[in-house]
Chains A and B, each alone.
Chain A
C-alpha cells in the first residue's frame, strides 16, 4: 500500500511539474505583455518590468518561478494592485470548497437514492423520471440550469435570494445548479449497477439462505453497487472545479472559480497561472485519495 501511494505520489509530482512548465511557457508565448494596455512613461514601465522580473531572460524567470513555487509562493497579481495569488486563494477558496462539497454531497445522496429506487421500481413512473432527469442533467449546460432556477425561484417566485453567498438560503440554488449534472450521472450509473447486482447469483444465494431483505440490501447489494460510483468521484471533482467557473459567475459568488474567470477576462497572467496550478494540485491530491479509498473498500483489488 505504502509503495503504491509513493509511486502514485511520484507520478502526480511529475505530472504537476509538466503542467507548470507547459503553462508557464504557453503564457510566455502570449503576444504582448500584461502592461501593454496601460499608459505610462517609459521609465516607470522599466521600473515595473524590473519589479516583476520581466526584464530577465525567460529561462531565468522560469527558475525563479519554480523556486518561489517550492516555497509555496504563487506570485502577485498583475492587475489588482498589491494582491498576491495566495491571498486571493485564502480569501475565496473557502466559498468554492463549501459550494463544491455541498454539491458533491447532494449529488451522491440524491443520485444514489434515485438510482436505487428506480432500479427496484423498474419501468414505473419514478424510473422514467430518473431516466429523463439523467438525460436532461447530462445534456443541459450548467449555466442554463443556473439561470433557469435563478429566474424561477429567485426573480419570479422570490422564494430564495438571487445571488451572493452569505446565508444557507443563498447556497441552495447554486448547489443545485452545480450538482444536477453529477446527480444525473450518479443516478444513471447506480441504477445500472444496482440492476446488475439485483439479478446476480450471490444475491439469489443470500435470498435462498433466508437472509432478511434489509440485510441483503445493505450487505450484498449496496456494497457492490457502490463500487463503480467511487470511480466516478475523480472525474466528478474535475467537474465541480470547471462547474464553479460558471455557477459562481451566475450567482455572483466570490469564490475561486469567479476569480479565475475574472483573471482570464483581465488577462491577469500570473493569476491565471497560479490558480491553474492550485486547481491542478487540488485535483491531483483528490484523485490520489479516491484511488486509496477505492483500494481500501474493494476487497478484490490486491496490490502486487
Chain B
C-alpha cells in the first residue's frame, strides 16, 4: 500500500461543507410517518372504511326506521324483507333492521370498552411488573401464568355465572380475564427497552428519565399497545357472541349480534336470513378489525420506518 501511495498522485477531495448534514426529506414524527404508511396500505384503508360504515350504521341505522328494537307487532310477525321492514321481522314482529343495528351498537360497545379496559389494566400490571421487578414481578407473572393456563372463555363463563348476564357484568368479566396478554407484552417491552443500546446511550449522555420515557419508552411501546388493543376488540366481540350463543351473555329483550345469531340459529331452516345477516355483520366487523390491526402493526413498527 505504501508503495502504491507513493506512485500514484492522489489529491484529497475532502468533505464539502454542509452537504453531509443536509436534511433532504422533511422531518416526520413517529406517528406522522406511521399514518403515511398506513394510508399506503390499500386493503387496510378499505377495511377502515368498512368498519366506519358499520359504526355509522349502528349509530344512525335505527333512526332511519319508525320502529324500535323491542316493540313488536304480532300481525307483522315473520315477514320477509320488504319496503316497510328492510330486513323483515322476527317471530314477535319486531323490526330486524332496528334490532340488527341496536345489536351492533351493543356488540361494538362491548368490544371497544372491554378492549380499552383490558388495555388499561394490562398496561398498569405490566409496567408495575417491569419497573418494580423483584417479588412484585414474580407474583404478577405467576398470576398471569396461572390464568393463562386455562382457556379464558372458561374463566369468563365462571365469572358470568356469578355476576349474571348483562352489559356491565360482561364488560367486567372480559376485563378481568383479558388483561393478561397486554400485561405480558408491556412487561416484555419495558424489560427489553431498559437494556436497548439507544436507551443506555441516552442515559450515559445524561438524558433525564422523563426524556427517556417520553422519547424512547412511550413511542416504542405505543405501537405494540395500539396493535394489541386493536386485536382485542374483535376478540371481545367474539366473546360476546360466544357467551350470548351459549345463553349467558345478553338477554332478551335487549339485543346484540351474538344474541341475534343464537336466535337465528333456531330458525335456520325456515328463515336463513335471520342468521345470515348478524353472521355477516360480525364477520365483516371482525375481519376488518383484524386487517386494520395487521396494517397498524406494519405501520407502527419502528424497525420498518424509512
Contact = CB atoms under 8 A, between A and B. Distances in A.
Interface stretch (A66-74, A195-203, A224-232, A277-285): A277-285
Contacts of B261: 143-144
Interface of A: 15, 18-19, 22-23, 26-27, 29-30, 135-136, 138-141, 143-144, 147-148, 150-151, 155, 238-239, 241-242, 245-246, 249-250, 261, 264-265, 267, 272, 276, 279-280, 283-284, 287
Contacts of A250: 265
Contact of A19 (B150, B157, B245, B286): B150
B247 A241 contact: no
Contact of A147 (B146, B162, B265): B265
Interface in B251-270: 261, 265, 268-269
A133 B52 CA distance: 24
Nearest to B146: A15
Given A18-B146, A26-B159, A30-B161, A261 B246 contact: yes
Given A136-B287, A246-B242, A264-B161, A144 B150 contact: no
Contacts of B238: 141
A241 B151 CA distance: 8
B161 A141 contact: no
Contacts of A29: 162
B149 A284 contact: yes
11 contacts: A27-B162, A139-B286, A141-B238, A141-B242, A141-B282, A144-B261, A261-B247, A264-B246, A265-B246, A272-B157, A272-B161
A201 B268 CA distance: 55
A270 to B, nearest CB: 13
Contact of A264 (B146, B162, B247): B247
B279 interface: yes
Contacts of B242: 141, 242, 245-246
Interface string B138-150: 0000000010011
Nearest to B145: A15
A135 B268 contact: no
B242 to A, nearest CB: 7
A88 to B, nearest CB: 17
A23 B283 contact: no
Contacts of A19: 150
A216 B153 CA distance: 42
Given A140-B283, A264-B247, A242 B146 contact: no
B272 interface: yes
A246 B158 CA distance: 17
A18 B149 CA distance: 11
Contacts of B154: 242, 276, 279-280
A141 B153 CA distance: 14
B162 A245 contact: no
A272 B146 CA distance: 20
Contacts of A22: 158
Contacts of B103: none
B38 to A, nearest CB: 17
A30 B162 contact: yes
Contacts of A272: 157, 161
A135 B283 CA distance: 11
A84 B261 CA distance: 32
Of B154, B234, B241, B261, chain A has the most CB atoms within 10 Å of the CB of B154
B153 A139 contact: no
B291 interface: yes
A250 B266 CA distance: 10
Nearest to A238: B151
B290 interface: yes
B275 A140 contact: no
Contact of A246 (B157, B161, B245): B245
Contacts of B149: 15, 283-284, 287
Contact of A151 (B248, B272, B291): B272
A52 to B, nearest CB: 18
Nearest to B286: A139
A258 to B, nearest CB: 10
Given A30-B161, A264-B161, A272-B157, 8 more contacts: A135-B291, A139-B234, A141-B286, A144-B282, A241-B151, A249-B245, A249-B246, A283-B150
A239 B154 CA distance: 11
A114 to B, nearest CB: 18
A131 to B, nearest CB: 10
B275 A147 contact: yes
Contact of B158 (A18, A23, A139, A140): A23
